[in-house]
Amino acid sequence: MTPLEKKAIEVLNKNWKGNFSIPCENLYPFQWFWDSGLIAIGFAHFDMSKAEKEIFTLLDAQWDNGFIPHIVFHSETDSYFPGADFHHSSLHPQASKKYKTTGITQPPVTGFVLEELYRISSDKEATLNFIKTVIDKVYFNHEYFYNNRDPKDEGLIYIYHNWESGTDNSPIWDDIWETMNPPEYTFERRDTTHVDASQRPSKREYDHYLHIIEIAKEHNYNDQKIAELSPFLVQDPLFNALLIKSNESLIKLYHLIENNEEKIKQLHNWQSKAIHSFNTKLFDEEIGAYIHYDLRNEKPLKYLSSSSFSPLFAGIPNKQRATSMIKLMLDKFGGDHQYLCASFDPTSDRFNPKKYWRGPVWINLNWMLYRGVSEYEYEDVAERIKKDSIEIIEKNGFYEYFDSRKEIHEKENAGYGGNNFSWSAALLIDLIR
């Protein structure tokens, strides 16, 4: 085992809290939905029981309507804002009675994570037995999305909050903030006591984030009301690509489990509608990749980001389209002076290589792009993404995100946000195994 892998295992074990993991100390002291899923992939390589427990705990917080929250507040710490009391998700009649949670969700990774656990497992029978105990919860979650988050029956799910996207402060959302004018709330940020404010969203951005949640709370987190009233209502290519990827994994796993024909049929129905709409509505010919669609204001958000390439991970583009997207990624994001893959278009004036999702490289997106590009058999590009991911961790540590400009790494620490960050460690293990 290499020293880097050993360190990665230490990071994961340190962030393990008995039956779930935190993304990192102080900054993120609870369990986060998509973090949890990706962390389980890392654990699966050296401690399958922790991987299973991670997923079990996450799904234990599922609401009675199938919804899975983006944060499960396992403790009372006030080192994070906004905490459980702000979110007050028990306003929803079907919210978890067992755990305090948020009333927003996050990218649905759980389906493909279960398939990853099965792939990695050296005891397939035992892992399949675990999968049998949780897979219907994941299916129920997908059913929740298609029944409640697709008002026009397009097979594309909306998100109603930037925190649901996972790409929290992407410059794409700036267009939506321009349509809103929230009050200036008084509150105490906690994130900027742990991390340099220049690497985090601004106070004014937080006003918008809180305002959307206030609107949802006024209506007890009712999905119909949110679809009617939320100023933020977006069809996000990353979120939908991960749902499609997860649908595909559920189909494969249900085939192994047997006696699930009805569910397999339903999953195929969702897939054909979703993939068709995805390729017609979310692909932008001018940009040459997939983009976000603002459902509230009925307009495409014409920006290139790492999310634009994420459909490669779910096999959504045909070979020809994939080829031109990979070329575009290399041309704009992959010059000799750059690490792949910046989270936002480096040629845009909204690009900021230090600020969270406005430019830095993220290991989770890199892992997805690595997998996607390999599936389309561009091995050299896949290897480049893998090499870049390992190199930025080796140089800086297991940070949350990294500067995409190579020269910065020569001069100073170019890892930003939280340190000893779980998914950077988890996915590094998967990349090098």
Report the catalytic residues.
Answer: 168, 400
CB of 399 to ligand DGY, least distance (A): 15
Residue bearing tokens 């398939």: 115
Nearer to ligand DGY by Cβ, of 163 and 339: the residue is: 163
Contact between 41 and 117 (Cβ < 8 Å): yes
- Specify the residue for token string 């910046």: 342
Is the Cβ–Cβ distance between 353 and 344 less than 8 Å? no
Minimum CB distance to ligand DGY smaller for 189 or for 296: 189
Cβ atoms of residues 367 and 385 within 8 Å: no
Rounded to whole angstroms, the Cα distance separating 249 from 395 reads: 35
Tell me the closest approach of the beta carbon of residue 373 to ligand DGY, in angstroms: 26
State both tokens at 61: 């917080």
Query: What tokens does 217 get?
Result: 């709370």
53-88 residues labelled b (16+ CB within 10 A) or e (exposed): bbbbbbbebbbebbbbbbbbbbeeeeebebbbeebb
Q: How far is the CB of 53 from ligand DGY (least distance, A)?
A: 22
**By the 8 A CB rule, do 118 and 124 touch?**
yes
Closest to ligand DGY by CB, 77 vs 224, is 77
In terms of Cβ atoms closer than 10 Å to its own Cβ (0-12, 13-18, 19+), residue 137 is middle
Q: Which of 45, 88 has the CB closer to ligand DGY?
A: 88
Nearest approach in angstroms of CB 386 to ligand DGY is 25
User: How far apart, in whole angstroms, are the C-alpha atoms of residue 21 and residue 24?
Assistant: 8
Nearest distance from C-beta of residue 283 to ligand DGY, angstroms? 28
Residue 282 near residue 240, CB atoms below 8 Å? yes
Of residues 194 and 263, the one with the C-beta less far from ligand DGY: 194
- CB of residue 423 to ligand DGY, shortest distance in Å: 12
By beta-carbon proximity to ligand DGY, the closer residue of 249 and 306 is: 306
Closest among 154, 129, 176, 378 to 296, alpha carbons compared: 176
Residues interacting with ligand DGY, by CB under 6 A? 70, 163, 168, 191
Residue 293: count other Cβ atoms within 10 Å of its Cβ.
23
Please list the residues that pair with 21 across neighbouring strands. 16
Q: Report the residue number whose CB is nearest to ligand DGY.
A: 163
